[in-house]
Structure 1
Amino acid sequence: MRHINRATTLITVCCLGLLTACTEDDDRGEPGPTPRTALRLGQNADTVGVGGKGALRITPDTVVYVHKAGADTPEHDLYAVVAFSAANRTATPVTATTGKGGFRWKAPDGHTVKAGNSRGAARIAPVGFHDGGPTVQPHTYGRNTVAFDLTDAEKGGTLVYVDGRGAAFRWKIPAASSGDTVAALKSALT
């Protein structure tokens, strides 16, 4: 009987040790940012809003490269305009980090620029692709664009979105205009 009690005690201690080892890395119960592979246009990323609040699904689906947008011409060679949707999957409004520099363009040579990096790029808001500010109402989605003033060599970069917890999500962007709504977006930019 004594050996059975010792064996039971030993098994209990080992199981508790394994359980503790599996759970004590992060006492908040939340996953930390992890490296992610680059997604393609049309693929979505589940992100959080400003301050780590709420849940947004960010989906870039179209990129166009233009040498003029309305009356504005780029300071460099061209504008890269990316259309995306931000879907709020919660019961409260969620604010995306788009208004706080959440989107960046990483060129093939590693050079990174923030969205709206020139006066012209900051003013691009094509009709039909711009639902307003970064706050998305409950159980709806917003359609918006981000624009970058780039050199020809910076085409075909990586779109980076940093969410409210600091997690970075990446999309590989083709070097030619691509996506679901190329013609409509180009038309809205003229």
Structure 2
Amino acid sequence: MSRRRVKPSLYISVDIEADGPIPGPYSMISLGAAVAGRQDAGGFTPADPEEHTFYRELRPISAEFDEQALAVSGLDRDRLCREGADPAAALSEFTAWVGEVSTGAQPVVCGYPVAFDWMFLYWYLIRFTGGSPFGHSGCMDMKTLYAAKAGLPLRAVAKGTMPRHLLSRRPHTHHALDDAVEQAELFANLMAWEGPGA
């Protein structure tokens, strides 16, 4: 019996900043992405997370925003309303970039935690491009990955509970590209880690 050939996975660390808790009423105001590595039958190969990156600041799509959410990124919403990229253009450019960097592989979003970033990214892709290069579920949560390898309940996990050697030495700045690169390093470390008993 022959085994079906499975395409490699190309992991892309994604971080977004938003001006509220959910897409639609609120806006994704920046999008950063960095290639974290590639996995095939032979294992995982990390990438230099600064080699292939994508970053855009987007024009808000509604008048609604939450001051506390907006303050996290430090981005100027008035400036974004004037100068931010059109969401349809930015997401089309992102889709093209994903296609370029993932030639011969299936792209997968990874994030820490991935739920918030995936929710905005997938909504924006469907709303503004009509499709997603990741399908409807092509994402991996680093928090879950760590919990499974560490044998811990998910809600017991925070970056502060992780062994220091797993964490990136880069600061978490809440700039979407900086954080995507930082998370790409965390992801590579988690993929190589064999667990607390190793």
TM normalised by structure 2 equals 0.26
More helix per residue: 2
Bigger CA radius of gyration: 1
Q: Would you tell me which structure has more strand in proportion to its own residues?
A: 1
TM-score w.r.t. the length of structure 1 is 0.27
